[in-house]
Amino acid sequence: MSLSASQQSIQRTESELSNVHTNRHLTDNLSVRDVEGDHFPVMLASLEHSLPHLAKARATAGGLGKVVDLISRKHPTDILLVHPMLEEVSGQVEYGKACDEDPPLRLVVEGVRHDVQVFRYKSQDTNQQPHVEFLMLAHPLFKARTLDSIYPNPMSRKAVLTFFSLWNQAVGALLVRHKPHVFHCPDFHSAVAPWYAINGHPSLKVLLVLHNAEYQGTISTDMILGRRLETLAYVFNLPKHIVAEHLLLDGRFNMLKSAVDFICSRQNGFGACAVSHWYAAECHSAYSVLWELPVVHGLDNPMLEEERVHLEGDLASVKADAKKRIQQRLGLEVNPNARLFVSLGRLVRQKGVDLIADVADWLLSNFADAQLILVGPVGDGFGHYAATKLEAMKENGRHAGRLHVHIQFMRDKDVLKDMKLGADFCLMPSRDEPFGYVDIEFAWHGALLVGAQAGGLGKVPGFYFLAQNRENLDRLRRELRTAVSFPQIIHCWHVLTGTSLLIRMLCMSS
């Protein structure tokens, strides 16, 4: 990528590292406008974003995107939302004209100066209370992403580290510029930002919300010693001792640790939570990066009742019509008696997609009325395995008309609605599930869940197994057999509705 004139190489001196523990504040490197009367008590920064007043200004990949959208519409206080912009694509990503352009952020990454543009967006409703504004950041590194690659990876690539350095420095600069009382930090992506702001905003408090604690912004392949430590400090424009103390866990790079350390050292360990009570307990016990925290709190269900699907007619007939439409749309056999299983989400190990791929042939071979739809983009090696195996199964024609595989996000809202409404079962054999929006969405459309009792799962009616050995297919097969053999789906719904707590208790005792 070519560099503009404003990104020319500069000499890396101590004054350029003015963001942490030096005599100069980060604001000395910025053109900061007068923000009097522009104070927001809360600032949130995330890579996923949703501007509700702009139909195409949306970049979401999962649960965090839904939360950010919810916050932008329902947050109880004034809030400033900060997001990096994608490249605009007509009909897909369109930000339109900003209300204002704030002074740029002048930052340094690996000895190179970068100017990040700051565009301010507001809702057209000037009477909106609480007040919500968006700061959308523009830079070639940010705009190199697409809707299908919102999150740069892997962390072992220098270009990815450069991205996260620029992003965290930009957020840190905005924390100094706007001085919110609380920085809402979802996961690891902006976890380093408070350390850039510590001098310019010493009273800052951090709220760390764990949407997916398995991903911690780590480089697990290398020990960070000697020259590697110096290289990381250079890329992130931080003193080596800050990197060594707050960005290394057991000798390996870990961005999430920086937020945990900030909370431990400046907030007595209080300020971390997870997106469900069960997941909070799992995270605190499973991930060593969190062990220094005295507690990880759990959050209540953020799904709004107003988002429930409104059906015209009785549930059985509405679902039957939707099933027929989705079967026709996706090339499945039109069979009103089919037991339609749907897996919707990123193809990653955490979601157990490899288990779905391994059990698919058994399911379709043993149950003539079973049909399977799998939708989602590949996210890791397990997802690549699942996609390759299921696509090969589809191509060989053995289960023609009973298997549909779509290895990317489904952007067609009508297809998504019919898929959820037409499904009999939502398939979620997750190894780890922080909260689970998908299960609620399918339940609200009259589908039962078949999956693991893990993390936030277990809150809607369905067939659950306790994954004592998470690589063993026997318990998943047992629940699939029970589900597909149940005599009538609607009757099954009436039997199971309201029993999710009992199901959880039975699973935990099994």
Per residue, what are the HEC states of 476-499?
HHHHHHHHHHCCCHHHHHHHHCCC
Q: What is the pLDDT of residue 61?
A: 84
Q: Measured between alpha carbons, how far is 449 from 439 in angstroms, rounded to an integer?
A: 7
Nearest one of 344, 330, 336, 495 to 420, comparing CA atoms: 344
* Collapsed DSSP state (helix, strand, coil) of residue 29: helix
460 close to 503: Cβ distance less than 8 angstroms: no
Of the chain, the end-to-end C-alpha distance in Å amounts to: 56
Query: What is the SS3 string spanning 305-373?
Result: HHHCCCCCCCHHHHHHHHHHHHHHHHCCCCCCCCEEEEEECCECHHHCHHHHHHHHHHHHHHCCCEEEE
pLDDT in tens, 197-232: 999 999 999 999 999 888 888 887 677 777 889 999
pLDDT in tens, 34-52: 444 467 999 999 999 999 9
Residue whose entry in the numeric block shows the structure tokens 């992403």 = 145
* Collapsed DSSP state (helix, strand, coil) of residue 157: coil
Q: Measured between alpha carbons, how far is 142 from 56 in angstroms, rounded to an integer?
A: 17
Q: What is the pLDDT of residue 471?
A: 62
Q: Is the peptide bond before 302 cis (omega within 30 degrees of 0)?
A: no
Residue 250 C-alpha from the chain's centroid: 26
445 close to 416: Cβ distance less than 8 angstroms: no
- Using alpha carbons, list the distances in angstroms from residue 329 to 326, 404, 411: 5, 11, 14
327 close to 342: Cβ distance less than 8 angstroms: no
Q: What is the pLDDT of residue 493?
A: 53
Domains and CATH numbers, the chain: 5-298 (3.40.50.2000), 306-509 (3.40.50.2000)
Q: What is the pLDDT of residue 510?
A: 38
Whole-structure pTM value: 0.81
Q: Measured between alpha carbons, how far is 376 from 504 in angstroms, rounded to an integer?
A: 27
Q: What is the pLDDT of residue 130?
A: 85
The stretches of 78-236 forming alpha helices (DSSP H) are 140-143, 158-178, 193-197, 227-236
Stretches where the chain sits below pLDDT 70 are: 1-38, 126-127, 221, 301, 468-472, 487-510
**Residue 502 DSSP symbol:** H
Q: Measured between alpha carbons, how far is 508 from 2 in angstroms, rounded to an integer?
A: 56
Bridge-based pairing of strands 100-109 and 112-122 is: antiparallel
The whole-chain average pLDDT of the chain stands at 85
